[in-house]
Amino acid sequence: MATLAQPRSRPVTGPRGRTRGSVRHLGPNWYAAVMGTAIIANAGATLPVRTGVLHTVYEVVWALSAVMLVVLLAARAAHWIRHTDQARAHLLDPMVAPFYGCLAMAMLAVGGGTLAVGKDVIGVSAAAAVDGVLWIAGTVTGLVAAAAIPYLMVTRHRIDAGTASPAWLLPIVAPMVSAAIGPGLIPHLPAGQWRDAMLLGCYGMFGLSLLTVLAMLPLVVSRLIHHGPLPLAATPALILVLGPLGQSTTAVSNLANAAPAAGSSYADAMTAFSVLYGVPVMGFALLWLGLSAAMVVRAFRSGMRFSMTWWAFTFPVGTCVTGAAGLAGHTGLALYDWLTVGLYLLLVAGWVTAFVYTARGLFRGTLLAPPASAPAPKAA
């Protein structure tokens, strides 16, 4: 859902004094930029305000996210081929390894946007096919990350007490994104077993992710209470907690909407559950948003500078937009329509800020420059 700060870098200077970097230092956290861009289009498609101009903007942003995904997949492949030692070091680094969950969510977010927005550009059949491929790839990758990263944390990483990070939620929330995106494919599957399997399979991933988050989130809260605020550069990562909250609300809403198409006998129960679950969870999400916003303001006042952590201001907030939109549809309350619009404006502000600073950092070469000091990752 976004990134923790990378180590402070000492730029490598070229012959003309400009800094430069290489894919050696391109970590999996960069997929957060793809997620944060795709959610602009995905969340925008759920807004109660719909105009031709806005839809065109969503199509442009979706296309941009798709291009970013292709470029980043190629760059990360080059990273693994040319800098295998660094790639393995990332897996052994407890601060970097959780960001492998972003790979799955980036594919899922772009796939969902293809069906929600891109279908008017490439056609419904092509959009469903692209979404299907990306959903399968993202789901498999997400399930592997949800199991493998905790395994590495237990067996290979050395994690000191009181160092729990909101980034630990990234690999385990990826199946929740699959649960939220999968219902959109149900009408495009053959009736009967296929649709039922997708519906209940997504519910299974909803439960898998939710229960794991409930086990992990108290560690993050305990770390804050007993050890104080996160380091300045890592403070925006607090927003990551909104990801499982907003995405789970979105998932139950989308599953309830898809249940009739699947011919499920649980359709009415799923609709009721989407409201009974979503309303209190969205309430907690707003509380956490206020708390984390206060901590971010405190960090700004203490001198926090831009880092890739700022992409945390995008995707997690976007999931709250789609969650609020789902509640608006199931409750009929205008209050949730207003909440959807307000959160979307906050999302756009976060995306513009992160995108501009990232583009500037890439142009200057500072974001991909080698770190000033690269301590060896702790491993068993």
Query: What span, in angstroms and rounded, lies between the C-alpha atoms of 170 and 188?
Result: 29
349: closest CA among 298, 304, 303, 296?
296
* Domain residue extents for the chain: 12-364
Tens-of-pLDDT digits for all 380 residues of the chain? Answer: 444 444 333 434 443 434 445 788 899 999 999 999 999 999 999 999 989 999 999 999 999 999 999 999 999 999 999 999 999 999 988 889 999 999 999 999 999 999 999 999 999 999 999 999 999 999 999 999 999 999 999 998 888 887 899 999 999 999 999 999 999 999 999 999 999 999 999 999 999 999 999 999 999 999 999 999 999 999 999 999 999 999 999 999 999 999 999 888 889 999 999 999 999 999 999 999 999 999 999 999 999 999 999 999 999 999 999 999 999 999 999 999 999 999 999 999 999 999 999 999 998 888 887 765 544 444 44
Tell me how crowded residue 280 is: count the other CB atoms within 10 A of its CB.
11
Measured distance between the N- and C-terminal CA atoms of the chain, rounded to whole angstroms: 28
Contact 32, 311 (CB under 8 A): yes
Kindly report the CATH number that applies to the domain delimited by 12-364: 1.50.10.150
Query: What span, in angstroms and rounded, lies between the C-alpha atoms of 264 and 196?
Result: 7
Amino acid at 111: G
